[in-house]
Structure 1
Amino acid sequence: MTAKPKVAVIGTGGTISSVGRGPLDLIDYSAAGRMLDVNGVIARVPELALVAEIIPVPFKAIPSTAIGWAEWKELLLICDRLVAEHPDLAGIAVTHGTASLEETAYFLSLTLRVPVPVVLVGAQRPASALAGDGPMNLLNAVRVASDPRARGLGALVLLNDEIQAAREVTKTSTLRMQTFRTPDFGVLGQADADEICWYRKPLRRMAPDTEFDVRSLDALPRVDIAYAYAGADGAAIDAFVSAGARGIVTAGFAPGYVTPAMAKAMEAAVAKGIAVVLSSRAGSGRAGKTTRGRKSGFVTADNLTPQKARVLLSLALAAGVTDLERVFATY
């Protein structure tokens, strides 16, 4: 009998582990104040034993709105430890709330050093929901994590039977099942019932081959996001500078423009040595390179969303990178 692949499942909380007040409590379930730990989540999906030998890894049971640098670093170190302790480990699945899942995924995709696939998985409906999506999402995440073809693709995201690249995927709908999408390029593959199907690979540099090692860091440099809207002034940018920001990312009008008042405040920030990166609030497409942007010392985020550009800029500043244009063209 062929041995099943060994897959670790790290639980961080989120909707996939939440228990509401009843099967139709699909929106306000957090009011119940109950989340399952990873063992509780796994216990609800006994079918996992059909596809892998599961190693439960308790971490936290919190909403993903509460996840940030401290949790990111701890997840990174847990992945390191799991690979060291289990030389035959096929892969790692991380259950995660969908609110900030894409940011955690991109951070890991830029910093992981483990050779095995790491797949982040969440759910749009809580564990207590009628027809909840969590169990099948988790089963498919484990299947993808154990697939050798998933190696070398950075961190991956699995929901709704679709395999997405961490750099490219974003949450596009608050409640719909098909919320995680890659607007510009589409999925990497699909987790169908009969097999895992792959169709493309991302080309940008990603884990485990990156220049970012945060394991010895206590914190990342502060980077804030300034949102552009009609009539916006520079108050938010000035406040970020006063708060100690070392970088500012704009969520600009497509394809990356901001108001004149914001541009003036951004130019003043650059003069103080603060990195300014232009992104777009549109959700897809590249931020355009303009003559004024170059003259002002702004860097463009390529097609990264503002929240992803913030992660990359913070890591680049922590690594002492001076050529930010290169970084945003590489990752």
Structure 2
Amino acid sequence: MTAKPKVAFIGTGGTIASLGRDTLDILDYTATDRRLEADAIVATVPELARVADVVPVPFRAVPSPAIGFTEWRDLVRLCERLAAEHPDLAGIVIGHGTATLEETAYALSLTLTVAIPVVLVGAQRPMSALSTDAGLNLVAAVRVAAAPASRGRGVLVVLNDEIQAAREVTKTSVARLQTFRTPDFGVLGQVDGADVRYYRRSERTPPRMAFDIRTLDALPRVDVSYACADADGTAVRAFRAAGARGLVSAGLAPGMAPPAEADALAEAVRAGVVVVMSTRAGSGVVPLTTRLADRGILSADNLTPQKARILLALALTVTEEPEAVARLFAKY
């Protein structure tokens, strides 16, 4: 009899771990403040034992808006420790709330040190809900983490039977089950029952640990300024006053800001702040136009503002030279 693969499951909380008031509570369940730890989640989904030898790993169960750099760094360290303690580990699954799941996934894709697959999974309906997607999403994620074909593809995101690349995926709907999408390129693959099928690769998958955050106490401050009609640069100036070393503009498509906002961004560049132009459109590459180049503003490529913020903050841990930062955005 073939031995089942061993997969570690780290629970960080989120909807996939949450318990509402009753089975019809699918929207206000956070009010109960009840979330299962990793071992309880695994026990709640006994079907996991038919797929893999799942090792629950305690972390901390919180809503995903509470997750940021400290948790990213601790997850990097934890994944490294798990890989060392379990040389037979096929992969790691991280349960996560969907609000910031894409940000954690992208941050980990740039900072993890392990070679085995790491898969982030969440749910749109709490574990206690009628027709919850938590259990099947978790089973699919474990299958993906255990699949040999998942190696070398970077950090993956699995929900709704779809496999997405951490860099490319984004949450597109508040409550629909098909919320996680890759607008420009589509899914990497799909999970059909026991079958894990891949159809393409992401060309921007970084090598292990493109940036080392294991010993950092914090990332350089980088803020996002959201462009809108009549934006006058007040937010940009406030972020500078707060000590921002980098700024991302969630610009008007295809990558512009209103005149007063654009002037404030240019002023920030002259003051030594690295400024990157993304777009609030959620899709497409920001062209490095003459207008942007003349102001010293860099292009975020096709990264969303929230992901551009992560890459810029990580980039500033190794360089403050704008040309070097631009090369990192072209690479990752």
Please report the TM-score for the alignment, with normalisation by the length of structure 2: 0.98
Cα distance in 1 for partners of 2:320, 2:168 equals 23
Cα distance in 2 for partners of 1:283, 1:80 equals 33
> Following TM superposition, by how much is the alpha carbon of 1:149 offset from its aligned partner in structure 2, in angstroms?
1.0
Contact 1:155 1:207 in 2 (8 A): no
Deviations 1:12-62 (A, max 9, x none): 000000000000100000111111111111111101001100110010110
Matched, 1:167 2:167: yes
Contact 2:160 2:177 in 1 (8 A): yes
Aligned match of 1:130: 130
Specify the code of the residue in structure 1 equivalent to 2:232.
D
Specify the code of the residue in structure 2 equivalent to 1:134.
A
Cα distance in 1 for partners of 2:302, 2:182 equals 11
Contact 2:91 2:116 in 1 (8 A): yes
Matched, 1:9 2:9: yes
Question: 2-11 vs 147-156, which deviates more?
Answer: 147-156
Aligned match of 1:178: 178
Deviations 1:256-307 (A, max 9, x none): 1111011110111001110000000011111121101101110000000000
Cα distance in 2 for partners of 1:136, 1:306 equals 31
Cα distance in 2 for partners of 1:133, 1:219 equals 34
| CA root-mean-square deviation | 0.8
Aligned match of 1:330: 331
Matched, 1:225 2:224: yes
Contact 1:119 1:158 in 2 (8 A): yes
Aligned match of 2:68: 68
Aligned match of 2:276: 277
Identity percentage over the alignment?
A: 62
Cα distance in 2 for partners of 1:298, 1:253 equals 14
> Following TM superposition, by how much is the alpha carbon of 1:320 offset from its aligned partner in structure 2, in angstroms?
2.0
Specify the code of the residue in structure 1 equivalent to 2:82.
L
Cα distance change of structure 1 residues 148 and 219 upon mapping to structure 2, 3 Å threshold? same
Question: 147-156 vs 81-90, which deviates more?
Answer: 147-156
> Following TM superposition, by how much is the alpha carbon of 1:321 offset from its aligned partner in structure 2, in angstroms?
5.4
1:47 is paired with a residue whose SS is helix
Deviations 1:108-150 (A, max 9, x none): 0001110100000000000100000000000000000001111
Cα distance in 2 for partners of 1:130, 1:150 equals 31
Matched, 1:118 2:98: no
How many residue pairs match? The answer is: 330
Cα distance in 1 for partners of 2:61, 2:112 equals 22
Cα distance in 2 for partners of 1:275, 1:16 equals 37
Aligned match of 1:140: 140
1:173 is paired with a residue whose SS is coil
> Following TM superposition, by how much is the alpha carbon of 1:232 offset from its aligned partner in structure 2, in angstroms?
0.6
2:59 is paired with a residue whose SS is strand
1:164 is paired with a residue whose SS is strand
1:59 is paired with a residue whose SS is coil
Contact 2:278 2:300 in 1 (8 A): yes
Contact 2:274 2:320 in 1 (8 A): no
Contact 2:12 2:95 in 1 (8 A): yes
Alignment of structure 1 residues 167-206 onto 2, 5 Å: 167-206=167-206
Deviations 1:179-226 (A, max 9, x none): 000000000000111411100000114141x53111121110000000
Specify the code of the residue in structure 2 equivalent to 1:236.
A
Cα distance in 2 for partners of 1:44, 1:308 equals 33
Contact 2:153 2:205 in 1 (8 A): no
Unpaired segments ≥5 residues, structure 2: none
Matched, 1:267 2:272: no
Cα distance in 2 for partners of 1:43, 1:306 equals 38
Matched, 1:151 2:151: yes
Aligned match of 2:309: 310
Cα distance in 2 for partners of 1:256, 1:24 equals 42
Please report the TM-score for the alignment, with normalisation by the length of structure 1: 0.98
> Following TM superposition, by how much is the alpha carbon of 1:317 offset from its aligned partner in structure 2, in angstroms?
0.3
2:211 is paired with a residue whose SS is coil
Cα distance in 2 for partners of 1:248, 1:106 equals 18
Specify the code of the residue in structure 1 equivalent to 2:76.
L
Contact 1:153 1:207 in 2 (8 A): no
> Following TM superposition, by how much is the alpha carbon of 1:4 offset from its aligned partner in structure 2, in angstroms?
0.5
